[in-house]
Amino acid sequence: MFTGIIEEIGRVKAIRRGSSEAKIVISCSRVLGKKNTMSSYPSIGVPTILGDSIAVNGVCLTVTELRGDTFTADVMPETFSRSSLSSLRPGSKVNLERAMPAYGRFGGHIVSGHIDGTGKISSLKRDGNAIWFTIETDSDITDFIVEKGSITIDGISLTVAAVTHQKPKGEFQVSVIPHTLSETSLSEKKTGDIVNLETDIVGKYVKQFFKEEK
């Protein structure tokens, strides 16, 4: 489980595509426990080991190799097809978060790392020192988005400011403060970019509960 509080911005070093899977190599330091910083995560400073889970732009991946200041993770074809990972290139910046330890602080909301799909940034509007992001996505996803609720965008826990429910496409808005912009890859996003989305898992359980009650 993750919380949507980004630990570090990593950089894609290589992507090796095979017939049945791909391997992504990411360089970083803090997530590998090689740099002590002020953070809400006591786990920082504790080395990452093989088998650990790391959310890469919100997608839960398993560490399969560690070498120097890099880690490698396998990416299945379905993961590529359902996420924006397929658009990554060597040099791309990615948001990284390790799985939350039992003794960690719950800074964001419950994030599984299993994204629901993607959305497209339809507009960016500056409002003082913040930026409004308007994101268009399938109505199957906006059905689980509520105003003042939580949404995960590329692994970042954000609060929904407004949502429009339409079919087949809906849209929602979030306001991103300067600190979040500087600590994540959102600072480099532009109109038309694709982002990974994960809706609040609590809403999914509630909908399933009432579906079974009928």
pLDDT of 121-176, one tens digit each?
999 999 999 999 999 999 999 999 999 999 999 999 999 999 999 889 999 999 99
Predicted TM-score (pTM) of the model is 0.89
**C-alpha to C-alpha distance for 50 and 52, rounded to whole angstroms:** 6
Mapped onto helix, strand or coil, the DSSP state of residue 159 is strand
The structural domains of the chain, with segments of one domain joined by +, span 8-98, 117-210
pLDDT at 208: 78
pLDDT of 75-123, one tens digit each?
998 898 899 999 999 999 999 999 987 777 778 898 999 999 999 999 9
Which class is domain 8-98?
Answer: mainly beta
Strands 156-164 and 70-75: unpaired
- Helix (H) or strand (E) holding 181, with range, is helix 178-183
Tell me if 31 sits within 8 A of 54, measured CB to CB: yes
Q: What angle do CA 49, 53, 55 make, to 5 degrees?
A: 130
Arch. (CATH architecture) of 117-210: Beta Barrel (2.40)
